[in-house]
Amino acid sequence: MTETKQSELMGDIWGGLTAAIVALPLALAFGVAAFAPLGAEYASTGALVGLLGSIYTGFAAAKFGGTPAQITGPTGPMTVVSTAFIAQIVAVHGANLPIIAILMALGIVIGGAVQILIGLSGGGKVVKYMPYPVVAGFMNGIAIIIFIGQIKPFLGISGDWSEFDFSVGWVPMSIAGGTVAAILISRKISQAVPGALVGLVAGILIYFALAAGGFAPFSSTDNPLLIGTVPNPFASWEQMQRLMPIFQFGALENLGFSDFKMAFTAGLALAVLGAIDSLLTSLIADSVTHTRHDSRKELIGQGIGNILSGLGGGIAGAGATVRTLVNIRAGGRTSRSGMLHSTVIFLVVMVFGTPAGWIPLAALAGILFYTAVTMVDYYSLRLIKRRNVRSEFIIMIIVTTMTVVVDLMVAVGVGCAIAAILFITQQIKQPVIHRRERGNEIFSRRVRSSAKETAILKEFGKRTLSYELKGSLFFGTTDALINDVETDLESADKFIFDFSRVKDIDLSGVKILLSIIERLHSNKRQVYFSGLIEFEQSSALSIREMLQDMGVISEVGEENIYADHDLALEAAEEALLHEHHEGYKEGQPPLALLDFELFQNLDSDDVEKFNTLLKEHSIKAGDYLFAKGEAVDSFVLVRKGELNVFKQAKNKDVRIATVSPGALLGWRALMKEEQRITGGIRAETDVDVYLISKASFDKLENEHPTALLHFQRELLKNAVERMQVLTSELIMLEER
């Protein structure tokens, strides 16, 4: 065995032993609390049920679960549900142990089966998104229920409240108080020794001291102050048949439909609360061990454990946070620690049933008092001081109140419903428009050198309106969009809707969006969509498919759907130029040198010198003027057609500009050092260009430096104009 494996094994041994020591008093306490509706005379049976729950659920969940260091056993939420379930059974059938055993087993088995189904369906992932106020609320409510449930044992009352007699009650009160005091003192002295165990020992010693003084019976038989001898179902075949529900099927003939309905309801509550409890503990374990649990496997393991516990006579269990953390801090890291913890408790049942009979009920009440107080989520109580999260505090209070007064499952359901309503309300308040831009404020990446084209776009671009949408489009947010469009209807002719930031859209949102498009078309307005292809690639049912199925795409027109916002803006600009620029792009011959504004301010001698340097070149659509990674060795004047300039990013080509006739590119050719284009320059249509090589510029610099200087002056003016446009766009984007 390697040193690493040996160290891991020793950590699991110490973790399992320490977790068992912590789990033992809690298992006894939770079991006794669950059987409290039957009366004090059934405390020993309750103690056994709690121990068996730790044995079965702890071993199976560790063996088959998905959180290696997790310790499973009876917990507060599971005990509260079990106590309420037993109280219902007692109300109908009385203290009939066979019926109680078979119905308890049925409810726990149903709960385990439901947990397995939740795990197989991947429902465990949903628990991670349970709203914090809901979780905090029902945990606080459970803490209150546990605390209230232990007041009678604390006072020594086994029946009605009127039975309280201080002359008798001071004994259990002293024991419970001493137990809590011992726990608190031990926590201050050392964290190494489990406080619950210290409290249990202290409670037993206090009882012996009182018994020695004649204030309490010195016997564990028929003593209402003690749990009594814990029976051992593994001692003999007869004991097993008497104590395990799997042998109580004869009681089924006394049950009716209402009993099975009651068991199913309890099982469903155990499944849901057990899943929440276990997976929240798994998340805490992950944060400490820096690992990631498997929620699917964990729920299957929890389900198997609860099925075995139900059939074997144990109480339902779930992942226990305190016991899990104790295990991890002691060195436990694998499932061996959880299985060892259960094995140790099994040995306790086998050997220490009679000595356990001396455990005072009041000592267990003291342990549960302390447990209840530590279960309270004190951070949630501080939310009342924070105005921004006051609504979350109200949700927590509602869930806490309903947990105590009504029912755990109802509380969780109502809490989630309220949280969902508040979330929807907050979403409706969020603006659906991320940016709203006019066509004279921001321009496409198409490079234009014609002053007339630029002037037209600056003058009439305000009639183009672009909406960059964001978030979720549903009935609330999309309805707000109607008001914005109605406001802009008279001031714009072309509307661009960009979906690049939209996460999802529902049917109501689609219907409202369709009505907006129909309204725009009825007023002779042009509509463009962009940013839909990205979502078509990333989701099974994309936004584009949703819009396609509901007729929105056909209403807009496939020819008006663009991959990105820039292409849609470019299409709107082209439409504007066709409307306001007579003869724009209609049968134009290739441009001559003097058609380029860059050369129109040069004198005839300078132009003639450049004419001698020109090289005419034609490219077919789809061919590259400069391939990927190729050195840019020529200055380019686009005479006819369109060129797209690409940059390679994340293993794909991204279009950074479209160059139209009259525009320039290839600035890199003017630089002394060799420059390369990462994504290439490709012809979108058939293209005619003039090329001026880098060598020609070098020659011009040597032979006619004045001509080159005049050219560079015009080139600088062109660059400054483009930079001014870019700067104004950046300023506008920053302001918004």
Predicted confidence (pLDDT) per residue in 640-667, tens digit? 888 888 888 777 788 888 888 888 887 6
Helix, coil or strand: residue 188: helix
CA distances from 609 to 24, 484, 665, 706 (A): 99, 56, 20, 11
Asked if 384 and 88 touch (Cβ cutoff 8 Å), the reply is no
Burial class (CB in 10 A: 0-12, 13-18, 19+), 365: buried
pLDDT of 152 over the 90 cut = no
Q: Rounded to the nearest 5°, which phi and psi values hold at 319?
A: -60, 125
Average pLDDT of the residues in 597-603 = 82
Percent of the chain scoring above 70 in pLDDT: 92
Instruction: Report the pLDDT value the prediction gives residue 326, as an integer from 0 to 100.
Output: 82
Domain 430-580 CATH superfamily:
STAS domain (3.30.750.24)
pLDDT in tens, 5-27: 777 888 888 888 888 888 888 88
pLDDT in tens, 485-530: 888 888 899 999 999 888 888 888 888 889 889 999 999 999 999 9
Q: Which DSSP string do the residues of 41-56 spell out, in sequence order?
A: GGHHHHHHHHHHHHHH
pLDDT of 713 over the 70 cut = yes
User: CA-to-CA distance for 472 and 508, rounded, in angstroms?
Assistant: 12
Instruction: Report the pLDDT value the prediction gives residue 202, as an integer from 0 to 100.
Output: 92
Give the chain's end-to-end CA distance (angstroms, integer).
Answer: 64
Helix, coil or strand: residue 442: coil
pLDDT in tens, 243-302: 788 777 777 777 888 999 999 999 998 998 899 889 888 888 887 888 888 989 999 999
Higher-pLDDT residue of 731 and 223 is 223
- pLDDT bracket for residue 218 (50, 70, 90): confident
Least confident range from 484-498, 681-695, 700-714: namely 700-714
pTM, full prediction: 0.65
Average pLDDT of the residues in 183-212 = 86
pLDDT of 601 over the 80 cut = yes
CA distances from 481 to 366, 378, 415, 430 (A): 60, 42, 31, 11
The sign one gets for the Cα dihedral 203, 209, 215, 217 is positive
- pLDDT bracket for residue 722 (50, 70, 90): low
Phi-psi region of 504 (alpha: psi -120 to 50; beta: other; left: phi over 0): beta
Instruction: Report the pLDDT value the prediction gives residue 537, as an integer from 0 to 100.
Output: 46
Average pLDDT of the residues in 613-622 = 90
Asked if 505 and 472 touch (Cβ cutoff 8 Å), the reply is yes
Average pLDDT of the residues in 385-396 = 80
pLDDT in tens, 331-364: 888 999 999 999 999 998 888 878 888 889 888 8
- Domains of the chain, by residue range, sit at 3-421, 430-580, 593-735
Higher-pLDDT residue of 583 and 626 is 626
pLDDT of 305 over the 90 cut = yes
- pLDDT bracket for residue 733 (50, 70, 90): low
- pLDDT bracket for residue 692 (50, 70, 90): confident
Which helix (H) or strand (E) element contains residue 689? strand 687-693
Average pLDDT of the residues in 148-165 = 82
Instruction: Report the pLDDT value the prediction gives residue 536, as an integer from 0 to 100.
Output: 42
Please check whether the two domains, 430-580 and 593-735, share a CATH topology.
no
Average pLDDT, the chain: 84
Radius of gyration of the chain (CA): 39
CATH number for the segment(s) 593-735: 2.60.120.10
- pLDDT bracket for residue 173 (50, 70, 90): very high
Instruction: Report the pLDDT value the prediction gives residue 453, as an integer from 0 to 100.
Output: 81
pLDDT in tens, 220-260: 787 888 888 888 888 778 888 777 887 777 777 778 889 99
- pLDDT bracket for residue 735 (50, 70, 90): low
Instruction: Report the pLDDT value the prediction gives residue 728, as an integer from 0 to 100.
Output: 64
Instruction: Report the pLDDT value the prediction gives residue 522, as an integer from 0 to 100.
Output: 92
Q: Rounded to the nearest 5°, which phi and psi values hold at 720?
A: -65, -40
pLDDT in tens, 42-58: 888 899 999 999 999 99
Helix, coil or strand: residue 150: coil
Name beta bridge partners: 464.
Answer: 494
User: CA-to-CA distance for 261 and 271, rounded, in angstroms?
Assistant: 15
Instruction: Determine the Cα angle at 639 with ends 635 and 644, to 5°.
Output: 70
Name beta bridge partners: 245.
Answer: none
Percent of the chain scoring above 90 in pLDDT: 24
